[in-house]
Amino acid sequence: MMIRFFTTQTNIKGKAIKLSRDDSEHIRSLRLRPDEFFVVCDECGSDYICKLDSDSHGVARIYERQQSCGEASVKCTVYMAYSKGDRLDYAVQKSVELGVYEIVLFESKRCVAVPNNIPKKIERLQRISLETAKQAGRGIVPVVSDGGRFKDILEQNNDTILFYEDEDNLHLKTILEELSADVQSISIITGPEGGFEPSEIEQAKTKGIPVVSLGTRILRSETAPVVALTAIMYHSGNL
């Protein structure tokens, strides 16, 4: 697979793409030769096959434009609770690899740790999303954002599923069987290390959000969103 970079459409002029300083330095560190091809993606789903411009430092010359094949047919937004340590790093990285469209973090009542500096935490996770998108051949860089508290994200959701370890009646398999294989968008919510409080589950049910089991085993907070996303991608033909 060719080396991959991302840019905005404003940096694309005719047959040339102005590279960022970081990307230019990365190219130099890789000792990329002028005759070697690489990919620049416009974050809107288009890939540009490029070579370095021999006359202009920091400019890529476009040879071909094609549609990115790294995007899923379903736009899946993952709402995941804040967790401690590097658990969010893992969950974000694997979710981007699997094809997540967007990641929204939120504070739940049983969160063990919420960052003191949320913007700094979001910035770090966004960098992980960018580097993973490059590695995974994505056509976009999924946005990582802060959604506030649990009650706030309940106001934002349509076509949403919430996963809860104490749910006994409604299982993921049932939901997937009822879900159209050509579904275009869906949101999933997973909880913190301590799980959701019963009152939070009741809030979700009041909003009409299905509460679903991921099986009889208790999954870690960083594992649950990855498992749920994998199942949805498989069901929708994206794995």
The residue from 23, 49, 67 where one domain ends is: 67
In this prediction, residue 119 carries a pLDDT of 96
If you average pLDDT over residues 145-167, what whole number do you get? 91
CATH number assigned to the domain comprising residue 13: 2.40.240.20
Examine the pLDDT at 58 and tell me if it is beyond 90: no
> Rounded distance, CA 118 to CA 17, Å?
33
On whether both 47 and 91 belong to a single domain, the answer is: no
Buried b (16+ CB within 10 A) or exposed e, 1-30: eeebbbbeeeebeeeebbbeeebbeebeee
On whether both 145 and 207 belong to a single domain, the answer is: yes
Name the H helices within the chain: 21-30, 87-98, 118-136, 150-154, 172-178, 198-206, 224-235
Q: What are phi and psi of 64, to 5 degrees?
A: -160, 145
pLDDT tens, 60-89? 999 999 998 889 999 999 999 999 989 999
CATH number assigned to the domain comprising residue 222: 3.40.1280.10
The first and second tokens of residue 122, run together, are 């979001």
* Domain ranges, residue 176: 75-235
Examine the pLDDT at 12 and tell me if it is beyond 80: yes
In this prediction, residue 124 carries a pLDDT of 96
On whether both 33 and 52 belong to a single domain, the answer is: yes
Examine the pLDDT at 211 and tell me if it is beyond 90: yes
pTM score, whole prediction: 0.89
Confidence band (pLDDT; 50, 70, 90) for 157? low
Whether residue 48 contacts residue 60, with contact meaning beta carbons closer than 8 Å, is answered with: yes
On whether both 123 and 57 belong to a single domain, the answer is: no
Q: What are phi and psi of 24, to 5 degrees?
A: -65, -40
Instruction: Report the domain count for the chain.
Output: 2
pLDDT tens, 89-108? 999 999 999 999 999 999 99
